Amino acid sequence: MEDVRVRSYPTRPTHKHPAQARRPARRRSEDRIRSQAGIYLLELLIAVATCAMLGAALAGTTAETMRLASAGQNQILATNIAQLIVDNVRGKPFDEVVPGTYVWHVPAEAGDSGAAFISRELQDAPAHFEGDVVMTVTPGAGVFSSTRQVDVVVSWTEGQAPRQFHMTTRISQNGIHI
């Protein structure tokens, strides 16, 4: 039998640089951590940017919610003011409800022409509500000649937009209110 010799060829190194072959395992893991540090930084930047966008959206939503809540509160206050005035007019004797136009500012001031028709609650209206009240009392005609129509308009401004609330009632000499 013949002697067969196996020839061995050099194998390719699994590492890119020959110096890396001599590095201990701990050093290789430190290099891997350093290479991943850039990825962690990128992930952190994406997370911060996402939080910033969510925060901006939340701030915008909160501002809009506050504006809508304020608008609703102003509408409620205007309705309450008009109702107080109508209730006060209905509580007065018919002869004291003199036809004419009465205008005053809310919160009410002492010299306002309509001060006789407003209650203590209206004089103490919340300071953040500011507006004007116009009450027009007109005598009835025809079938309604023994009545007086009372129109109350409360006007205020929200931001740049003017707003109004209107309420109408009739009072009668016989005490029947329509």
**Would you write out the chain's pLDDT as a tens digit for each of its 178 residues?**
566 666 666 666 555 655 555 555 566 666 666 667 678 888 889 999 999 999 988 888 888 888 777 778 888 888 888 898 888 888 888 888 889 999 888 765 545 555 555 555 555 555 567 888 899 999 988 787 888 999 999 998 888 889 999 999 998 887 665 5
pLDDT for position 178: 57
Residue with tokens 């329509």: 178
Domain ranges of the chain: 50-172
Res 67: pLDDT: 77
Task: State how far the Cα of 98 lies from the Cα of 81, in Å rounded to an integer.
Answer: 20
Query: Amino acid letter at 163?
Result: R
- DSSP 8-state secondary structure symbol assigned to residue 15: S
Token readout for 15 is 């590492």
Q: Give me the pLDDT at residue 29, please.
A: 66
CA 25 to chain CA centroid, Å, is: 60
Q: How far apart are CA 89 and CA 137, in angstroms?
A: 10
Contact call for residues 108 and 118 (beta carbons, < 8 A): yes
156 vs 64, 71, 135, 160, CA distance in Å?
Answer: 20, 11, 15, 10
136 φ, ψ to 5°? -115, 125
**How much is the pLDDT for 28?**
63
pLDDT on residue 144: 79
